[in-house]
Amino acid sequence: MAGPTGTRFLLTGVAGFIGMHVARSLIAEGHEVHGVDSVNDYYDPELKRARLAEIANLPRYSFIETDLSDKAKTAELFETVRPARVVHLAAQAGVRYSLENPHAYADSNVLGFLNILEGCRTSAVEHLVYASSSSVYGDRNTVPYSTEDRADHPVSLYAATKRANELMAYSYSHLFRFPTTGLRFFTVYGPWGRPDMAVYLFTKAIFEGKPVKLFNNGDTWRDYTFIDDIVEGVKRVALSDPKFDRSDDGHVPAKVYNIGNSNPEKLLDLVGTLEEVIGKKAVREMHPAQPGDVYRTFADISDLQRDFGFAPSTSLREGLERFVAWYRKYHGIV
């Protein structure tokens, strides 16, 4: 049975791109959201503060600024909020940044996730939905990526920590029988998006007349997924009964799903569409592949469609038009 109107959610990473949108949508449907974020400076904190301002005055919403890697503070958070369900989106993001600051990933993505699991266990949370990543698949030649595929060859520390989250969640579901569902996100974009992601970076460069850096000489493919489609998928999972996985000792309430557009686009085609939407040509600058990058991502979402009716509907062009419109407004570009 889906979570009733008025379900109390703890939503981590609420100052983040996906987190802000999920919070706003849950609140619009009558749910209670207690948002958490450390508002770190991995990218411009002003953008995070602006996202928080967008939802600050909504009903049935509160915000707590804290660091989830702090065991005592996270335990206190669960004691205070007493959530029925948890959507855990907080993480140290970025593949390339993990080459520069690996300890940030251990603190946030491993220790922070452990503290969330402990909070869910001690608070008898009905369902934990958490963010994983398509990066767990590594650089695979076989597409589309299926959750039935092995995911034990990560090519970045970021990917390794997200795979670790999946294994940690399974162990807690097995030991303590509380339900966990991981969602492997595939290249999310849209209004209020992250400034370190390709769509934002390319849009900024085109408007400013600066080079658009195309790694692997532009020969990469990504399963670009518009934020509204992602939010709908997250909500469907978070408000539904969790699904069970079969293991040798019986049913374990742990599942992992891909959540993406299931329609990869070539990087050069993305740039071409952005040029048309903006009405200005990009200065293209070719570069070799970067360490940790993968050639192609492509989500098999058949199980998410089957179990939750997930069906992305936003075309790349429509999504880019909506992102560019937001970008113009946010940055005051006429």
Rounded Cα–Cα distance for residues 168 and 162 (Å)? 10
Strand 127-133, strand 85-88: pairing: parallel
Work out the number of other CB atoms within 10 angstroms of the CB of residue 47: 18
Reference 181, options 112, 253, 236, 122; nearest CA is: 253
Query: Contacts from 198-203 at CB under 8 Å and sequence distance 24+?
Result: 198/222, 198/267, 198/270, 199/224, 199/270, 199/274, 199/320, 199/323, 200/323, 200/327, 202/270, 202/271, 202/274, 202/282, 203/274, 203/278, 203/323, 203/324, 203/327
Q: Is 131 exposed, middle or buried (0-12, 13-18, 19+ CB in 10 A)?
A: buried
Answer yes or no: 158 catalytic: yes
Query: Per the residue annotation, which of 105, 137, 145, 158 is the catalytic one?
Result: 158
Measured CA angle at 223 (ends 217, 225), to 5 deg: 125
Residues assigned a catalytic role: 158
